Structures are given as C-alpha cells and as structure tokens.
Amino acid sequence: MAYDQNNIFARILRGDLPCKKAFENEHVLAFHDIRPLAPVHVLVIPKGAYTSLDDFHEKASEAEQAALMKAIGQVARQAGVAAGGYRVIANTGGDGHQEVPHLHFHVLGGRPLGRMIGRPE
C-alpha cells in the first residue's frame, strides 16, 4: 500500500494538525489518543513515512527501529504505568482494524485492561 501523505498522523507530523505531545526525539513522536480507551492511551509513531509494521521492518533503518522500540518503553515509564502493567498494540491492515495508515503503537494502561481480545461470537 502506498503511503498516504495526507493521513492524520502525517498531518500531525507536519504540524498541520495539533496533538498533545507526550514524547519526541529524532525518530519518534508520541501523543495522547484523541479518544482514549484507558486513563493512559498514548500513540507512539515513527517520524518516517511507514504505513504499517511490515513496511517499517522492510524499509526503516536499524536506528529508526531501535528508537521506536525504546520510545515505547520510555513512554510507558513516563506515563507511570510501567510498574502496574500496560498493553502495547499495533493494529495492522484490514483484519487488524488499522484505521490510520501510518504505523502507530497504542500504549494503554492506568486500569486493568481485561483479556487481550474478545472471543468470536
């Protein structure tokens, strides 16, 4: 899938749309989800134009990949959920119900999150 330069997170990265920033470095931006599903719900994204985890693994440099992984841990610690526990989710593609086509990790915590996913009916 070609990268859509006008997806919401690309616009946030360009500064065209505001975000509530939680963390930033050379390779990564993290900001609070606009519709939080838990007391802590932060999205961690690479600054590079990658649609999904597959795309990222294929094209991103080792430095970008390491920075993203490290940032997830830093965000969790900074948000105060590292000790109590949290969940990291990367919805990917159609079956994964990915809505925004720019790779992002959800960091969720601050309450018991229950089972990972519901069982099919």
- Positions annotated as catalytic residues are 104
From first CA to last CA, the distance across the chain in angstroms is 31
Structure tokens at 6: 């006008």
Phi (first) and psi of residue 15, to 5 degrees: 85, 10
Applying the rule CB under 6 A, the residues between 74 and 103 that interact with ligand AMP are 91, 97-100
Minimum Å gap between C-beta 79 and ligand AMP is 15
Site string for ligand AMP, 22-61 (x = CB under 6 A): ---------x-xxx-------x------------------
Q: Which is nearer to ligand AMP, 62 or 95 (CB)?
A: 95
Minimum Å gap between C-beta 70 and ligand AMP is 21
- The CA-based angle 9-108-65, given to 5 degrees, is 55
Per DSSP (E only), the strands in 2-118 are: 21-24, 28-32, 40-46, 86-89, 105-109
Minimum Å gap between C-beta 95 and ligand AMP is 12
Neighbours of 120 (CB within 10 A): 4
Q: Which residues bind ligand AMP (CB under 6 A)?
A: 8, 17, 19, 31, 33-35, 43, 91, 97-100
